[in-house]
Amino acid sequence: MTNGLNSMPEGSAKGRKRLGYAVLGLGIGMAHADAAYASDNADLVAVCDKDPGRLAKATEKYPGVTAYADFEELLRDDRVDIVSVCLPSGMHADFAVRCMEAGKHVLVEKPLDITPERARRIEEARLRTGMRCGVVHQNRFNVDMTPIKQAVDSGRMGRLLLGTFAVKWYREQSYYDRGGWRGSWAMDGGGSLMNQAVHTVDLMQWLMGEVESVTSTMGICNHRIETEDMTASLIRFRNGATATFVSTTCAYPGISTEIDLYGTRGSVEADGDCLKTWRMMDAEDEDAEEAAMLEAYGGGNMKAALSDPARKFGHDHVVEDMICAVRDGRDPEVMPADALHSVEIVHAVYQSARTGKTVFLTHE
Site residues (vs ligand NAD, CB under 6 A): 25-29, 48-51, 54, 71, 86-89, 109-110, 136, 138, 179, 195
Length of the chain: 364
Among 218, 217, 223, 216, residue whose Cα is nearest residue 251: 223
Shortest distance, CB of residue 238 to ligand NAD, whole angstroms? 27
* CB neighbourhood size of 77 (10 A): 18
Among 145, 137, 111, 160, residue whose Cα is nearest residue 271: 145
* CB neighbourhood size of 150 (10 A): 11
Q: Percentages helix, strand, coil for the chain, rounded to the nearest 5?
A: 40, 25, 35
Shortest distance, CB of residue 66 to ligand NAD, whole angstroms? 14
Q: Which is nearer to ligand NAD, 5 or 28 (CB)?
A: 28
Pairing of strands 160-168, 82-85: unpaired
Q: Which residue is nearest to ligand NAD (CB)?
A: 27
**46 within 8 A of 36, measured Cβ to Cβ:** no
Q: Which is nearer to ligand NAD, 141 or 245 (CB)?
A: 141
Q: Which is nearer to ligand NAD, 27 or 209 (CB)?
A: 27
Shortest distance, CB of residue 252 to ligand NAD, whole angstroms? 20
Shortest distance, CB of residue 105 to ligand NAD, whole angstroms? 18
Q: Which is nearer to ligand NAD, 249 or 262 (CB)?
A: 249
Shortest distance, CB of residue 156 to ligand NAD, whole angstroms? 30
Q: Which is nearer to ligand NAD, 76 or 238 (CB)?
A: 76
Q: How far apart are the first and last CA of the chain?
A: 32
Q: How far apart are CA 203 and CA 339, in angstroms?
A: 10
Q: How far apart are CA 287 and CA 2, in angstroms?
A: 55
Shortest distance, CB of residue 160 to ligand NAD, whole angstroms? 26
Q: Which is nearer to ligand NAD, 28 or 250 (CB)?
A: 28
Q: Which is nearer to ligand NAD, 73 or 153 (CB)?
A: 73
Q: How far apart are CA 155 and CA 160, in angstroms?
A: 9
Q: Which is nearer to ligand NAD, 58 or 157 (CB)?
A: 58
CA distances 10 to 7, 16, 17, 30, 329, Å, are 10, 7, 8, 31, 18
Shortest distance, CB of residue 277 to ligand NAD, whole angstroms? 25
- Dihedral sign, CA of 139, 181, 83, 306? negative
Shortest distance, CB of residue 285 to ligand NAD, whole angstroms? 38
CA distances 317 to 135, 216, 356, Å, are 12, 34, 40
